[in-house]
Amino acid sequence: MKPVTAEPPLFGRRDPDARGYFGAYGGRFVPETLVAPIEELTAGYFAARADAAFRDELDRLLRYYVGRPTPLYETRRLLEIGGSARRTDDDRSRNPPHVHQERGTGAAASEKHRAADPPIRIFLKREDLTHTGAHKINNALGQALLARRMGKRRVVAETGAGQHGVATATACALLGLECDVYMGSEDMRRQALNVVRMELLGARVRQVDAGSCTLKDAINEAMRDWVTNVADTYYLLGSALGPHPYPLMVREFQSVIGREARAQILEQTGRLPDVVVACVGGGSNAIGIFDGFLDDRNVRLIGVEAGGERIAPGRHAARFAGGATGVLHGTRTFVLQDEAGNIELTHSISAGLDYAAVGPEHAWLRELGRTEYVHISDAEALEGFQMLARREGILPALESAHAVAYTVRMAPDLPAGSVVLVNLSGRGDKDVQSVIEALKLS
């Protein structure tokens, strides 16, 4: 069989409607001062994606700079010693009824299942092996090329876990653009390594002390900057969020993940996966890998949100477990909010999942019944982090560890011989200090 080569993003295959809506979700909810910049961005993006020269340059950089295609790796020992993440009775009550529940927990349940049936095959899409260490570079590079094409000399961005900030700083350094990255002070504390990386790459990291001092507040400040400096500044949004055309742009730039993974799983197994699993904060890595399988109705697509400490206001970031339809940062989607519509505080051990809204296309796909969403607690994510490190020699980002932990939890209930594809969206170097702190407290 012909080896899998890098797959460029696929443009124009699944656009929202003319107003930027995916069903009832999406749209543009922006102040009047941003209407003209958003229209300029929309025209610029649609022109760029129709331009073969733009697509070819992006494809070339994805291959030779980012390092695509990223490998697809089949785990060897992840389920070897039981391996189900710990669950309490309270944890069990959190999942929606359509999600499979495990037969038991711990080594005994898993060993019993594996003794009776052939093993489940789990494959990791290794986005942690890209240049900069996460999927974020796919989108950052595409949008930075667009910014240069539109004649913008300066880029502003927001970041939570720091991976989007690092990717943006990297792309700006490569293309000779000025770069300012807004980051909440709490996230700067948690992700100090990435702050240094951004500064070494030439970016100015702007500390945000408002609100919860996390991603939501960083987005607020980045958008304020953009409003003030629209003539020469491009806002490089990092997830499948925000006003149209951002959710579409980000998904299309991240679709390279799903296209590669689909070809790779067919090459290695001769069949499509039964399940695709990805963590969901804003939702860019998940929508990127889901995009390659949306037309395959027999492939389950599962997004894993941050269950935090517990499903209670301010203690989690699982929008589909505790949210409702609302508007945040320019888009209509599922949002964690109180009865008066005020945005709730969120919590997750993973800075990249610590956000009150989810991308509008995810909300739409869930409403259609095409995707499923579950949540994993901080404790379970920590266990998933340690399991992958100790059994496979891979340090995952804490965001990705949510997907790993749910996959291990789900495995005993899958039919014998099932194939599961997990998007390992980033590497965990950035999270080592957070893990050390959390394990000392546990």
* Residues tagged active-site: 136, 158, 425
Rounded distance between C-alpha atoms, residue 83 and residue 110, angstroms: 7
Q: From edge to edge, which strands make up the β-sheet containing 25-26?
A: 21-22, 25-26, 331-335, 324-328
Phi, psi of 119, rounded to the nearest 5 degrees: -70, 150
Rounded distance between C-alpha atoms, residue 161 and residue 351, angstroms: 5
Tokens in use for 285? 């890595």
> What one-character DSSP code corresponds to residue 68?
P
User: How many Å is the maximal CA-CA distance in the chain?
Assistant: 65
Sequence-distant (≥ 6) Cβ neighbours of residue 163 within 8 angstroms? 132, 133, 134, 136, 194, 352, 397, 426, 430
Rounded distance between C-alpha atoms, residue 124 and residue 114, angstroms: 20
Q: Which residues pair with 372 in a beta bridge?
A: 302
Containing H/E element for 374?
strand 371-377
Lookup result for tokens 């109705």: 297
Buried b (16+ CB within 10 A) or exposed e, 104-143: ebeeebbbebbeeeeebbbbbbbbbbbbbbbbbbbbbbbb
Pairing of strands 154-159, 331-335: unpaired
